[in-house]
Structure 1
Amino acid sequence: MANWSGNLIKDMQDSSKVILRSSLAAVLRDRYPKARHHFLVLPWEDINTVYQLKSEHLGLLEDMHKLALQTIEFHHAKLQDFKMGFHMRPSMNRLHLHVISTDFVSDSLKRERHWTHFNTAFCMPFQSIVDELKRNGKIEPRSEQYIESLLNGPLICNQCSFQTHTIAFLKRHLQEHLYSTTRYNAA
């Protein structure tokens, strides 16, 4: 691939970057994690987006989900501290399931859209994709107007009702959540 949007496909071919694998999919660390734990589960099959999925891909999705769960377990983390989903408009080639911890504490979380990519309906929950695929046999594309409304919305904390318009304030707020959780768990 000539440009950066093909890096996931290239990374899948590098066994040193693959955390877990099956005959259907592989798990990579996100190169620019937006949280303390951020993994991507990608199929070996050449599928670029959720909108190319059909009913016959339900087995693939089940396999991707199993790999996601194994990755969380492998990192001694708790499932309730993660979310799993697909972006409505991905920036990288190859379908990929985001498996991301909900702390969102990361130096790579730099822009407002980094937040809205994961903390609005723009990140379609794994189970909602499975349900839509079972119901309709395909995933209906979302309108560009709807997508932009999600990406340009306010920054609302995923752990409380705090709201701001700058990523810097939100990041400081998220650090406070992490600090209070860490302090509570250490007691």
Structure 2
Amino acid sequence: MGTKRSLNDHELESSAKKTAGHWSKGLLSSMEDPELKVEEDDTTVVIKDKYPKAEVHYLILPKEDISDMSKLQKRHLPLLKNMFAIGERIMEENPNREIRLGFHAVASMSRLHMHVISQDFNSKCLKTKRHWNSFTSSYFVPASSIIAELEKNGCIKRMASKTAESLLATPLKCHKCSLEPKTMPQLKTHLMTHFKKSGCT
């Protein structure tokens, strides 16, 4: 599938002029942005998502130039396990939040990146059904599943474009209950009822 401006991860239209090349390459500049960079080690960089879709939303990226999951090989397992360990540490640092670690099946941004994202989805940047479905459907692939697939098969099978588009177009549904709101504003208002109860707003 070609990249589309509506395919979540980041809405870089507004900053495209500030980044070299196509907007989909924006993560490369974000990795060097001192306002976004959180930490780094020999193989990875952790940044704040420039357009966070939840109260906690980080991206963990490899320093190696890996464009997407389809380029992963077995030799990348130590890298992925390190990324996973960093994500788990962030989870431990936020004990009162439900946090998931994973990858978009068909990422719009050109650099492999693992999302570390809390499940409150309390963000003004969460605007569209595609945003929502990209994190709450099977379009969002758990990091543990990617590691297991790479260990077993030595590669990651890319999700078919039709499947990906179907997941992103799924009707809205709360990820905590059976409610199926008609609009994003209705969904976001409803989400607050869950997270006020849990004390995680």
Decide: shared fold, TM above 0.5: yes
Paired amino acid for 1:99: V
The answer to whether the Cα contact below 8 Å between 1:21 and 1:67 also exists between their aligned partners in 2 is no
CA distance in 1, matches of 2:72, 2:95: 29
- Pick from 43, 53, 72: which aligns with 1:34? 53
- Partner residue in 2 for 1:67: 86
- The yes-or-no answer on 1:57 pairing with 2:42 is no
Structure 1 segments of 4 or more deviating over 4 A?
Answer: none
Alpha-carbon RMSD across the aligned residues, in angstroms, is 1.6
Indicate the structure with greater helix content: 1
Paired amino acid for 2:195: L
Name the % identity: 38
Q: What's the TM-score once normalised by structure 1's chain length?
A: 0.91
Cα offsets for 1:4-62 (capped at 9, x unmatched): 22221112123442212110101100011101110000000000111110111000001
CA distance in 1, matches of 2:96, 2:143: 13
Cα offsets for 1:50-78 (capped at 9, x unmatched): 111011100000111122123334xx412
> Matched residue of 1:20: which SS?
strand
Gaps (5+ residues) in structure 1? none
- Pick from 22, 25, 42: which aligns with 1:6? 25
Shift of 1:80: 6.3
- Pick from 106, 109, 116: which aligns with 1:92? 109
The answer to whether the Cα contact below 8 Å between 1:69 and 1:79 also exists between their aligned partners in 2 is no
* Larger deviation, residues 12-21 vs 132-141: 12-21
> Matched residue of 2:39: which SS?
strand
- Pick from 168, 174, 194: which aligns with 1:157? 174
Shift of 1:140: 0.6
- Partner residue in 2 for 1:103: 120
> Matched residue of 1:169: which SS?
helix
Gaps (5+ residues) in structure 2? 1-19
1:13-32 alignment runs, 5 A limit: 13-32=32-51
| Number of residue equivalences | 181
> Matched residue of 1:170: which SS?
helix
> Matched residue of 1:40: which SS?
strand
